[in-house]
Each structure stands twice: as structure tokens, then as C-alpha cells.
Structure 1
Amino acid sequence: MKLILYSKPGCHLCEGLQEKLERLAGVGDLDFELEMRDITTRAEWFEVYQYEIPVLCCDREGIEHPLPRPSPRASDSHISRLLRQYSS
């Protein structure tokens, strides 16, 4: 599974979610590739996500599907359940 995290430098919510995802990568049956996308590098990303980051998407066959935004307080196990739910 490929995950895309839209973020920008200095976003503490983005950094928190990135850290959780990096801890979960390859743990147990979770197998995903994480691609980070800085919204400040492309005008179209900035236009769409400037007020929404962090935005986590699952890429299925080249089509991005936004996942529900987890709470900044969500535990690793909560994020893990979310990823399992949307990977099937």
C-alpha cells in the first residue's frame, strides 16, 4: 500500500502524524510506503490543502483516496486500525 502525507515545513500536526506512521511502517502486517509531499512546492497542492494539513491519502492504482483525519492525540494503535480498515 502507498500512503501520501501532504504537509508543510513547521507543521507540528504533520510532524506528529509522520512520526507515528514511520513507527508503524513494517510493523506486524502493516506494509506501506510513505511518500511525503510538501504543499509549498506545488501551487495546486497548496491551493487544495493549505487549510487542511496534515492530509493522509491512500494511493490505489494511481487514484488518491483521502483517509479520515486522525486526532493529533490518536495512538499508534488507533492509526494502525485506521490503516488496516482502509487497506482492505
Structure 2
Amino acid sequence: MQLILYSKPGCHLCEGLQAKLEQLQGWDFQLEIRDITSREDWFQAYQYEIPVLCHLDDSGTLNALPRLSPRASVSQLEKLLQKHLAPLSAE
């Protein structure tokens, strides 16, 4: 499974979500961090939205996951992933 985190350097919300993703147990995924300051199209799309967590499906379509509160726990992040990605992993 491929997850993509749109972020920018120095963003404490982005760093917090990345740290929570790294603490997940039992999830097999590759995490790609995309710095929105490195491409104008990413910056225009996400400058007011970061962090944005997306799932890249088998067809190459990028699907944004619902925004998680910065105060959410690792277990709440896991529940979000289970709700939105578990059906995909069963296919």
C-alpha cells in the first residue's frame, strides 16, 4: 500500500502526522513525503490544507483521506485507515 503525505519543512502538524504514521503497528505501507514547496502545482493545491494524507490505488489514482485532527491519537489514525483502506486491502 502506498501512502503519500503532502507536507512542507517546518510544519509541526505535518511532522506530528508523520510521527503517528511511523508508530503504526501491523500496517504494511510505504510512506512518501512530498514537499509542497518543491513543485508549484502541489503548493497551489495544498498550501492551506497541509498535512494532506493520500492513498495511491492500484490504478494510479490519488485519493485524499479525510483530514485527521492534529490532536488525534495513533489509535484514532489507525481507525481512520481501517475505515478507508481496509476494504482496499481485502481486494
Q: CA deviation at 1:10?
A: 0.6
Query: Identity of aligned pairs, percent?
Result: 64
Match of 1:47, SS state, is helix
Partners of 2:53 and 2:82 lie apart in 1 by: 14
Superposition TM-score, scaled by structure 2 size: 0.90
1:34 aligns with 31
Tell me the C-alpha RMSD between the 2 structures. 0.7
Q: CA deviation at 1:22?
A: 0.9
Partners of 2:49 and 2:38 lie apart in 1 by: 16
Cα deviation, 1:23-78, whole Å, max 9, x if unaligned, reads 11xx12x2111100000000100010000000000110210100011000101000
Partners of 1:34 and 1:69 lie apart in 2 by: 17
Instruction: Please list every run of 5 or more consecutive structure 1 residues that lacks an aligned counterpart in the other structure.
Output: none
2:3 aligns with 3
2:66 aligns with 68
Instruction: Please list every run of 5 or more consecutive structure 2 residues that lacks an aligned counterpart in the other structure.
Output: none
Q: Tell me which stretches of 4 or more aligned residues in structure 1 moved more than 6 Å.
A: none
